Structure 1
Amino acid sequence: MAWKRFGYICRKASATLTNEESVAEAISRVENEPACSLYGGSIDKNSLSRKILDKIAAIPNKDEAIKALEIYSKMDMSLHFSEPVKFKRITTYLTILTLTFVLI
């Protein structure tokens, strides 16, 4: 769910950013809105999505930060990272099955 929340934050921040507001302020504002909780729990501080948001917020040029937000807002990252989790589960299952076979 972190990637769905990440996508929502990027979409909402890029769409509602005002001239007086910095990109970091917009990201923080969107994350603290109650509607953001509909897209899952808060993003872990060590996750890739948090690091990307922090890097975008740290970009000194506001136009470049807005472009980065718009790029990520058009991407559905949840589809790209859901398959490796499935493969990890399958690999774990096969490993346990193999160890059980060897032990028996």
Structure 2
Amino acid sequence: MTRGRTRPNAPNLNLVTQIRASATPSDTSSLSPEHLQIIEICSVPLSVAEVAAYLNVPLVVVKVLIGDLVERGDVVAGGLFQTSEITDTKLLQAVLDGIRRI
């Protein structure tokens, strides 16, 4: 999968780095099935650890594959990405109340 590589091309990839598929991926015809899977599952931002769990491959392998995709511009790695999926204010209030109790 990694062609013998053990280090990712992209710096600063750790367990919690968020990965998101680019809005305009490049030509994916030359990518491996694992690369394509990463692009597909990262339509919603996921951490590097989550990607490794979904693919059921070692973390080092996932970091190398993600590094390839970051270099090509097919995925973006960074902090927390904003999504508009949570719209239930009752859920948000319950989380806030739980945090205050701690």
TM over 0.5: no
User: Greater helix share, 1 or 2?
Assistant: 1
User: Greater strand share, 1 or 2?
Assistant: 2
Larger Rg: 1
The two structures have a TM-score, normalised by structure 2, of 0.29
The two structures have a TM-score, normalised by structure 1, of 0.29
